């Protein structure tokens, strides 16, 4: 298949931008990238898709997602993190069935695909959500997924005791051993679109012994680890009081750091923490909207990058962000850094786009396969229509994409060589049915949890 007539942000090593560009794919791989006319002459019989001058970019990579939270969007606005978890999120999620988990995952994947995200890293997939059903949703949607199964053995959070809803508490046998079973069953399946990771709970929810056991399994099986860390001040206070260590030093002590690890949020760090992250090759997932909305603080991305730490981008979950739109996340992610530092140059649109593409691929250990438009890489890309009143004229496509566009401007999405969105329409699933099922299951969850859903103002 030959995609022609596009401006291509290749994200290759030189960061080439190709005007009047084209991409040839065979199967699920990119076989040629260049000028559209040259490719058309070389492949006169090839099936063609004319992109009408739109912008073609590597598929966006979201390195922190909670699939189960998509259908409880807006359930806990204006809450701080700990009461947000204890009073709302865990109560709702603790009442999920496997069918609820499946419905929410499909809604989340539909939103991600339609806004240009082709790969994501799920952080803490609880046993009760039904791993097999989530994997089925990955298969149906066509998206590329790294699913982090939850690991835990303690039902507390940092300085809070007896805080976790009983429906969310899992044992070592259910969590750790369950993830290992899912790894054996699903890792590398769906033409290598599905990878299985460990997604342990934050310190306070996992004993040091279980962390070490999990880390040993991860090294033996070359599995990835992703975990929330240093998200709020309470995380730092808890680890200092309990172990006399900073969050990153504690993570190192139980084997969590390394090139196969993505630590999420990382707001409450000091210089020594950052140096250790760089030394160990540990990756960081920056989640600006979530951290800002919950009042947790802002990750010091410029200092991390200056230290040589690879930083990627994540949307987090719908109750903490309210959407899974990586294009909107790029804009907020750079603007908030400029605001807090009072420096307009501190984090550029170009760096932010790297974080959403090639740096995200690096964090997932997939830089060889995705994250840029290059020969030999998998055919994962998104096409954005910048010929709209709020984005035109797009003389600088990077600026227009990061600062002016939204996920609603995505026209076409290709994952693993398959067109899954065309003309802004989802092709891999029935969008109306996905939304209807999510609404039905969400209403059932709210009723079981005895939590009101709706506006705070009077409804007449």
Q: Among 92-101, 151-160, 432-441, which stretch is predicted with the lowest mean pLDDT?
A: 151-160
pLDDT at 259 over 70: yes
User: What share of the chain has pLDDT > 70, as a percent?
Assistant: 99
pLDDT at 159 over 70: no
For 386-416, the pLDDT digits (tens) are 999 999 999 999 999 999 999 999 999 999 9
The per-residue pLDDT for 17 is 98
The per-residue pLDDT for 164 is 86
pLDDT at 199 over 90: yes
Q: Among 64-78, 144-158, 213-227, 351-365, which stretch is predicted with the lowest mean pLDDT?
A: 144-158
pLDDT at 80 over 90: no
Q: How far is CA 109 from the centre of its chain?
A: 11
pLDDT at 83 over 90: no
pLDDT at 262 over 80: yes
Burial (CB < 10 A; 0-12, 13-18, 19+), residue 188, is exposed
**Checking DSSP bridges between strand 261-265 and strand 283-286, what pairing results, if any?**
parallel
For 36-73, the pLDDT digits (tens) are 999 999 999 889 999 999 999 999 999 999 999 999 99
For 165-194, the pLDDT digits (tens) are 999 999 999 999 999 999 999 999 999 999
The per-residue pLDDT for 161 is 58
Q: Can you give the chain as a three-state secondary structure string?
A: CEEEEEEEECCCCCCCEEEEEEEEEECCEEEEEEEHHHHHHHCCCCCEEEEEEEEEEECEEEEEECHHHHHHCCCCCCCCHHHHHHHHHHHHHCCCCHHHHHHHHHHHHHHHHHCCEEEEEEEEECHHHCHHHHHHHHHHHCCEEEEEEEECCCCCECCECCCCCHHHCCCHHHHHHHHHHHHHHHCCHHHHCEEEEEEECCCCCCCHHHHHHHHHHHHHHCCCEEEEECCCHHHHHHHHHHHCCCHHHHHHHCCCCCCCEEEEECCCCCHHHHHHHHHHCCEEEECHHHHHHCCCCCCCHHHHHHHCCCEEECCECHHHHCCCCHHHHHHHHHHHHHHHHCCCCCCCHHHHHHHHCHHHHHHCCCCCCCCCCCCCCECCEEEECCCCCCCCCCCCHHHHHHHHCCHHHEEEEEECCEEEEECCEECCCCHHHHHHHHHHHHHHHHHHHCCCCCCCCCCC
The per-residue pLDDT for 160 is 62
Query: In terms of pTM, does the model score above 0.85?
Result: yes
Mean pLDDT throughout 216-239? Answer: 96
Residues 6 or more apart whose Cβ sits within 8 Å of residue 412:
49, 51, 54, 382, 383, 419, 421, 422, 423
The per-residue pLDDT for 22 is 98
The per-residue pLDDT for 162 is 56
How far apart CA 407 and CA 70 sit, in angstroms, is 16
For 309-348, the pLDDT digits (tens) are 999 999 999 999 999 999 999 999 999 999 999 999 999 9
Residues 6 or more apart whose Cβ sits within 8 Å of residue 363:
61, 63, 121, 262, 283, 285, 310, 312
How far apart CA 341 and CA 312 sit, in angstroms, is 20
The per-residue pLDDT for 158 is 67
Burial (CB < 10 A; 0-12, 13-18, 19+), residue 208, is middle
Task: Give buried/exposed letters for 381-419 (b at 16+ CB in 10 A, else e).
Answer: bbbbbbeeeebeebeebbbbbbebbbbebbbbbbbbbeb
For 274-304, the pLDDT digits (tens) are 999 999 999 999 999 999 999 999 999 999 9
The mean pLDDT value of the chain amounts to 96
Walk me through the domains of the chain, giving residue ranges and CATH numbers: 2-58+372-426 (2.30.40.10), 60-363 (3.20.20.140)
């Amino acid at each position: 298949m030959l995609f022609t007539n596009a401006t291509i942000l290749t994200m290759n090593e030189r960061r080439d931008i190709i005007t009047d560009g084209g991409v040839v794919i065979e199967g699920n791989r990119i076989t040629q990238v260049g000028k559209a006319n040259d490719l058309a002459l070389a492949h006169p019989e090839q099936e063609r898709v004319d992109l009408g001058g739109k912008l073609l970019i590597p598929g966006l990579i979201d390195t922190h997602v909670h699939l189960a939270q998509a259908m409880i969007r807006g359930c806990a606005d204006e809450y701080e993190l700990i009461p947000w978890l204890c009073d709302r999120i865990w109560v709702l999620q603790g009442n999920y069935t496997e069918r609820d988990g499946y419905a929410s995952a499909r809604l989340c994947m539909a939103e991600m695909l339609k806004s240009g995200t082709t790969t994501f890293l799920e952080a803490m997939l609880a046993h009760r959500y039904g791993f097999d059903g989530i994997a089925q949703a990955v298969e149906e949607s066509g998206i590329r997924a790294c699913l982090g199964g939850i690991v835990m053995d303690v039902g507390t959070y940092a300085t809070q005791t007896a805080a976790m809803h009983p429906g969310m508490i899992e044992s070592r046998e259910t969590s750790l051993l369950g993830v290992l079973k899912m790894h054996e069953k699903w890792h590398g399946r769906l033409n290598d679109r599905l990878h299985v990771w460990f997604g342990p709970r934050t310190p306070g929810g996992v004993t040091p012994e279980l962390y070490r056991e999990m880390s040993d399994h991860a090294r033996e099986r070359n599995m990835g680890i992703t975990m929330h860390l240093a998200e709020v001040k309470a995380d730092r206070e808890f680890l200092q009081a309990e172990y006399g260590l900073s969050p990153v030093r504690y993570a190192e002590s139980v084997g969590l750091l390394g090139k196969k690890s993505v630590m999420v949020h990382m707001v409450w760090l000091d210089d020594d923490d950052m140096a250790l992250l760089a030394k160990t090759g540990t990756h960081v997932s920056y989640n600006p909207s979530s951290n800002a909305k919950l009042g947790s603080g802002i990750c010091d991305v410029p200092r991390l990058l200056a230290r040589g730490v690879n930083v990627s981008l994540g949307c987090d979950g719908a109750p903490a962000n309210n959407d899974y739109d990586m294009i909107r996340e790029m804009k907020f992610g750079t603007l908030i850094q400029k605001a807090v530092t009072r420096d307009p140059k501190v984090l550029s649109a170009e760096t932010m786009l790297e974080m959403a593409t090639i740096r995200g691929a690096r964090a997932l250990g997939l830089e060889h396969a995705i994250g840029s438009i290059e020969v030999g890489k998998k055919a994962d890309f998104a096409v954005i229509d910048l010929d709209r009143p709020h984005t035109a004229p797009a003389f600088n496509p990077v600026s227009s994409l990061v600062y002016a566009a939204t996920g609603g401007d995505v026209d076409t999405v290709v994952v693993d060589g398959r067109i899954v969105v065309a003309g802004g329409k989802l092709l891999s699933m029935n969008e109306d049915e996905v939304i209807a099922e999510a609404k039905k299951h969400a209403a059932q969850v709210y009723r079981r949890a005895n939590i009101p859903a709706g506006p705070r103002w009077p409804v007449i």
